[in-house]
Amino acid sequence: MRSTGAKNETQVFDAVVVGAGFSGLYMLHRLRDTLGLRARVFDVAADVGGTWYWNRYPGARCDSESYFYSFSDRLSDELLEEWTWSERFAGQPEILSYLQHVAERFDLYKDIQFETEVVAAEYDESTGRWTVRTRDGNEVTATYFITAVGCLSTTNLPDFPGRDSFRGRWYHTGLWPHEGVDFTGQRVAVIGTGATGVQAIPEIAQQAEHVHVLQRTPNYDIAGGNRPMSAEDGRAIKDNYREIWRTTRETGFGFPYRTPERTALSVPDEERQRIYAEAWERGGFRLGTTFSDLLQDEAANETAAEFLRARIRDKVRDPEVAELLSPRDHPFFTKRPPLENGYYETFNRENVTLVDVREAPIQEITETGVRTADAEYEVDSIVYATGFDAMTGTLFKLGIRGRRGIGLEEKWAEGPSSYLGLTTHGFPNLFMITGPQSPSVLTNMPVAIEQHVDWITDCLRHLRDRGLDTIEPLPEAERDWVDHHNEVTETTLLPRANSWWVGANIPGKPRRLYPYVGGLDVYRQICDRIAADGYDGFALGTSGATTTGGFNGVARATFDELAAAAAAT
C-alpha cells in the first residue's frame, strides 16, 4: 500500500499542489528539492499517475513516442539512462509503472496525500494565503496554490434520455475498472470514436460476440506504427538524449522533429504524396508536421485530408463503411487526430457494425440497449468513449475562489481569461500548470509541463530572493494575452471544427479555442522574456498586497518579433 502522507502532520505549507501525475510529481520535486519549500500534494486517486492511473481501458497507450513522453534531462540524466521503454508507444501499465518508479526514486510519496479530494481553495486577502479544504473535512493553508490536474481529467458522460435505466453494465473509458473487463461472448455498444474509442474498439472486438460502434463524427486517424523497442533502439536513443530534448524544446509541438519551412502546394503532387507516404509509414504525428501551412491554408490542408481518406479506402473493404469513416466536414488536425493501430481493419470483421448516429441520432438508452432514430441495438454492455470536459472541467470542481470571494468558474463564465494560461487576475499566487490559453494539449504534454513547472520555480525563486511572496497578473496584461490568443487562433483553421479543443462536446460550454496555438517554442520564448523583463505584466508584493509592477507588452512584442523573423526566412 502506498503511503498517503500524514493527514494531520501540519496544516501550514508553503505550497499546495493538486494532482500527482506528470505535472504534480515534477512540481513537487522542484518545490521541495530545488527551492526547499514545504509542499503537500493532494490527489483523489490511490496512487500517482494522473490520467494514467484512471485510463485503463483496453488498448490505452500514449500517442507520443515513449522515449520523449517522459521526464527530460531537466529532471535527471541518470533516470534517462536507467529506464528503458519496451514499446515505441508505451501502454498505460508501463507509463504508470514509470511514474511510480519516479515517485519512489525521488522519494516523492511521503509528501503526497492520496484518496483526498480538494473541494475548496479560497484566497484570504487578510493573510495573503490560500485555505484548501478536502472532502474528508481537513483544512490546510499555503502561500501558493498550484493546480496540476491535467487537461483531460473530468469525464464527459452525455445525459442521454433513459441512461440510468440500462440493466446491463456500462463503462466510461476515463474511469475504467482496475480489475479489467471481460467482454467474451457479449454484445457491446461503443459510443464515441475519438482517441479512447479508436484504441479500445479493436481490443474489445477481439473478445466480444458483436460490437456496435456508434459514430457521430469520423476522425482523421493516423497510423501509429507501434512496435517493440529493440536494444539497439534504446541505446541509440540514450546516446542522443541531449540532442533529443534540445530539439523538443525548440519545436512548436514539443516533438524531436521539426516542421520543414515548405508549403504543401509548393511541391508537385507526386512529391507531396511521397512525403505524406513516408510520414505515414514512420507513424506518429509526423504527418501533421510535413508542411508548414497545413493549419493555415484550406487548400493545403485538403491535400493531407484526401491522403488520409485514401488510406481509409485502402484499409476498409466495404466502400460504404470506408466513406462513413472518412471525415469531410472539418479540416485535418482541427480535431485531435488519434493514432490507430488496427482500428480501420477492425471494420472488416464480421462481428463489428458501424452505426452512423449523425444521420440517425441516439434517441435514448433503453433497459436493453441503445435506440437510434432508425433502430434499436440490444446489448449486454455499453462503453462510453465520450471524452472529457477538457481544460476547465476539473479546475472548476476545485471550488477556487480569489479576491472578494469571486469563483474561478464565475470569472470564466464567458470563457477563460488568463495571462499566459498560467495565472489569472484576482487570484494571487495561483498557478495553473498547462492551463487554458497555454500550449498544453497542442503539444507533447511532458515538454509543456516541464516548461511551466520550471517557469513557476524560477518565479518563486525570484520572489524569495527579493523578499516578496505575492504575484498576480495585471488586468491589462491579461486582456492583452486573451486578445493575442484569439488573434493567433483566427489565423488557423482550428475554429472550423466542433472539437473538444473548442469545448463543443460539452453543452453550454463557451465556444473558444482553449489551448494556445502559437507554438510551444514561441510560447517558451515569450515566457522567458517576460521573466527577464522583471515579470512584465505582473504585480508583485508581500502578504497578499501587490505594490510594484508594470505592463510593457513584452508578450505581444516577442511574438511579433519572432513572427517577423520567421517570415523573413
Q: Which residues contact residue 164 at a Cβ distance below 8 angstroms, ignoring those fewer than 6 apart?
A: none
Residue type, 432: M
Distance separating alpha carbons of residues 218 and 210, to the nearest angstrom: 21
Residue 1: what pLDDT? 39
- Tell me, what DSSP letter sits at residue 229? P
Q: What is the pLDDT of residues 135-192, one digit of tens each?
A: 999 999 999 999 999 999 999 999 999 999 999 999 999 999 999 999 999 999 999 9
Average pLDDT score over residue span 390-411 = 98
Q: What is the dihedral of CA 444, 446, 448, 449, to 10 degrees?
A: 150
Distance separating alpha carbons of residues 130 and 141, to the nearest angstrom: 5
Q: Which residues contact residue 10 at a Cβ distance below 8 angstroms, ignoring those fewer than 6 apart?
A: 38, 140
Q: What kind and span of H or E run contains 340?
A: strand 339-340
Q: Which residue in the block uniquely carries the three cell numbers 460504404? A: 320
Q: Which residue in the block uniquely carries the three cell numbers 509509414? A: 281
Q: Which residue in the block uniquely carries the three cell numbers 462536446? A: 505
Q: What are the grid coordinates assigned to 306, written together? A: 484526401
- Residue 208 sits at φ, ψ, to 5 deg, of -70, 155
Q: What is the pLDDT of residues 464-500, one digit of tens each?
A: 999 999 999 999 999 999 999 999 999 999 999 999 9
Q: What is the pLDDT of residues 391-400, one digit of tens each?
A: 999 999 999 9
Residue 547: what pLDDT? 87
User: What angle separates helix 22-29 from helix 445-465, to the nearest 10 degrees?
Assistant: 30
β-partners of residue 130 are 123, 142
Distance separating alpha carbons of residues 17 and 147, to the nearest angstrom: 6
Residue 130: what pLDDT? 98
HEC assignment per residue over 230-285: CHHHHHHHHHCHHHHHHHHHCCCCCCCCCCCCCCHHHCCHHHHHHHHHHHHHHCHH
pTM above 0.95, yes or no: yes
- Residue 39 sits at φ, ψ, to 5 deg, of -130, 150
Q: Counting runs of H as helices and runs of E as strands, what totals does the chain give? A: 17, 21
